[in-house]
Amino acid sequence: MATQQIPVVVLAGFLGSGKTTLLNHLLGAGDGTRIGAIVNDFGSIEIDAMTVAGQVDSMVSLGNGCLCCAVDTSELDTYLERLARPAARIDVIVIEASGLAEPQELIRMILASDNDRIVYGGLIEVVDAAEFDDTRARHPELDRHVGIADIVVLNKADRIGDAARQALLDRLADLAPGRPVICTAYGRVDPELFFDRGTGEDLDASVRQLSFEDLLREAAANGGPAGQDDDHREHGDDRCGDGEDRCDHPEHVHHTGQAGHLHAGYQSVEFTSSEPMHPRRLMSFLDSRPTGLYRIKGFVHFDVPENRQKFTLHAVGDFLRFYPAPWPKGEERSTQLVMIGSGVDAPALRKELENCRETGPSDADVNSMWGVLRYVAAREEDVEADI
């Protein structure tokens, strides 16, 4: 049985873009998800609360150094091992890079890791909408960072007008063609855009370690400054750029206390098929994913000799992995996929996948699986074929 892998998400962006605010939001809105974090400094995260709770199993701090310069791949593996060990029960690991870190180097380090319990979970580049031009002038490499991102978060979008916001979205679309751009304020993006929510269940609740979410909720209940947004400190409420309390911009994601409101920033499209999928047609779809599609998760059924296992699929940005494993006894063989992104055409996505089904006599043979098998992790080669 394949080991459950923990996605490692890189959170990058230049100083002041709102990375720590976004991380704080993810920690507080995780709804039971246990998030491990590797950070360069604590920023506005509740350091006192973490000290009391002894968060040694869910936080690794590197002080004021730059992660991609301070450690090499083997050292990063050491940090990841602390967070990914089964006893920590971590659902996702977030690396908050320093403002001057090179995201491409961090991605290389994750992909070169020897830890088979982790998998690359995507690069999130946080951009300051109000200071974009000034940041770009100081750091011309911003264009390159945006260009390699798997998803771009345009933060502080409430600080600029509609015309300026649209112009900036157009520029980001040119810098990162096909990538989803999430327009938000206060770093408030639904965590499910970036990773799956955990169950929130521990084997022994009586000895469960406090999570960041527990701490933030306790601080809020006691009147503490849980979730204070440093990058919007001067704003007293959640307002759009026109200064009115009411927001008429559906792409904005404001915190209003309504359970479903945070879902405005992304779409989730489901696809199921009882017919097996044609491997070549499916790979053609995966190799030419449409604009705005960020993540794909689920499993695939191929009716190909020596390849009839259950192929779990993990895709984020350009990264793709298949994990074959035997079908559980009694489970119906089918394909079930969930596609997550922003501004995607749901009917068109389903139509493309429907065209990947084998609805008649199959012409797929072992050679047709080569495209799929290119993305099977080496550690899965010992999985027995279900023939």
Strands (E), 65-157: 92-96, 118-128, 151-155
- Residues linked to residue 153 through DSSP beta bridges, in sequence order: 126, 182
Q: Hey, is 223 helix, strand or coil?
A: coil
Per-residue pLDDT in tens (0 to 9) along the chain, 387 residues: 456 789 999 999 988 888 888 888 887 776 678 888 877 543 444 343 332 233 333 555 554 444 444 455 567 778 888 888 888 788 888 888 776 678 888 888 888 888 889 999 999 999 999 999 999 998 899 999 999 999 999 999 999 999 999 999 999 999 999 899 999 888 888 888 888 876 544 434 333 333 444 444 444 555 544 444 444 433 333 333 333 333 333 333 333 333 333 233 578 899 999 999 999 999 999 998 888 888 999 999 999 988 999 999 999 988 999 999 999 999 999 999 999 888 888 999 999 999 999 887 777 788 999 999 999 976 444 444 444
- At residue 123, φ and ψ (nearest 5 deg) are -110, 120
Beta carbons within 8 Å of 24's beta carbon, 6+ residues apart: 44, 45, 187, 216, 227, 229
| Residue of 307, 311, 308, 328 lying closest to 320 (CA atoms) | 311
H-run or E-run covering 152: strand 151-155
Give the chain's radius of gyration (CA, Å). Answer: 21
| Residue of 295, 256, 258 lying closest to 123 (CA atoms) | 295
Pairing relation of β-strands 267-273 and 293-301? unpaired
Torsion of CA 249, 251, 255, 259, to 10 degrees: 110
Q: List the 118-128 sheet strands across, edge first.
A: 59-61, 35-39, 92-96, 6-12, 118-128, 151-155, 181-183
Q: Would you give the distance in Å from CA 65 to the centre of its chain?
A: 24
Our CA angle for 302, 308, 310, nearest 5°, is 80
Q: How many residues does the chain have?
A: 387
Cα(86)–Cα(189) distance, integer angstroms: 28
150 is written with which tokens?
């798997």
Write the DSSP assignment of 253-321 as a string of letters.
Answer: ----S-TTGGGGG-EEEEEEESSPBPHHHHHHHHHTPPTTEEEEEEEEE---TT--SEEEEEEETTEEE
| Percentage above 90 pLDDT, the chain | 35
